[in-house]
Amino acid sequence: MKIESLNNPHVKEWCKLKEKKYRDQEGLFLIEGEHLILEASKKGVVKKILSSSIEVDADFYVTEAIMKKISSQKSIPKRIAVCEKLKEEKIKNRLLVLDAIQDPGNLGTMIRSAVAFGFTDIILSLDTVDLYNEKTIRASEGMLFHINFVKIDLNDFLKQIKKDYQILATDVKSGKKISRIVKKENVALLIGNEGQGLKEELKKQATDFVKIPMQENCESLNAGVAAGILMYEMSDLNA
């Protein structure tokens, strides 16, 4: 189908998906570019593909002006896809638990690292930035299609899993090196907000505290960097 008008109803609906409230209402989100579309296709969540070029496969062929209106990038892609939101699955054994992460780039980076280092699930607090923010999706490099997500009240969630999971929280003062802690098969790693760290109520749910040794003149690391280091330390790649 070819669309040339910026006022076409389809175009208006696609543009609305750039806002979280409409993504939540429709259960849909946008992705841009060939790599992301390939990864989403593997997951089976692509509903429609739009293209400004008749030389590539698409459900809708639109003008460059329409693509520019829909796109969130400076460099307009040849294809944009409308995707269904990911369905929550049953959690497995290696969990990254994120408390109030606010930077979409940080979230995307942590998603990418979690997949790289063999984590099976990412548990998001209710006040964490939207998973389907375009910056999160881009920073994940498509890896959000290769891991399970659950968005939930973290305090209740941690109470539910505490019996069966080792729960690790970061503490730069009293924490131990991960290599000194005997890790169970089921493990959850807690990462707190970029500025405030973990909420006290969540720290109380931890079974062990860990830290990343560093020079004394550096007080802390970026949340995404810290998560990546800790996940690597916990991975089979570091065995």
Domains defined for the chain, CATH in brackets: 2-84 (3.30.1330.30), 94-238 (3.40.1280.10)
Alpha carbons 107 and 98: distance in angstroms, whole number: 9
Tokens read off for 146: 């290769």
**How much is the pLDDT for 182?**
64
Q: Are 101 and 199 in contact (CB under 8 A)?
A: no
Q: Which of 159, 188, 156 is nearest to 91 (CA)?
A: 188
User: Considering only CA atoms, which of 155, 141, 85 is closest in space to residue 109?
Assistant: 141
pTM metric for this prediction: 0.93
Q: Which residues of the chain have pLDDT under 50?
A: none
Question: Residues, the chain, total?
Answer: 239
Taking only the tens place, the pLDDT of each residue in 83-103 is: 999 999 999 999 999 999 999
pLDDT at 214: 77
Query: Which pLDDT score is estimated for 194?
Result: 86
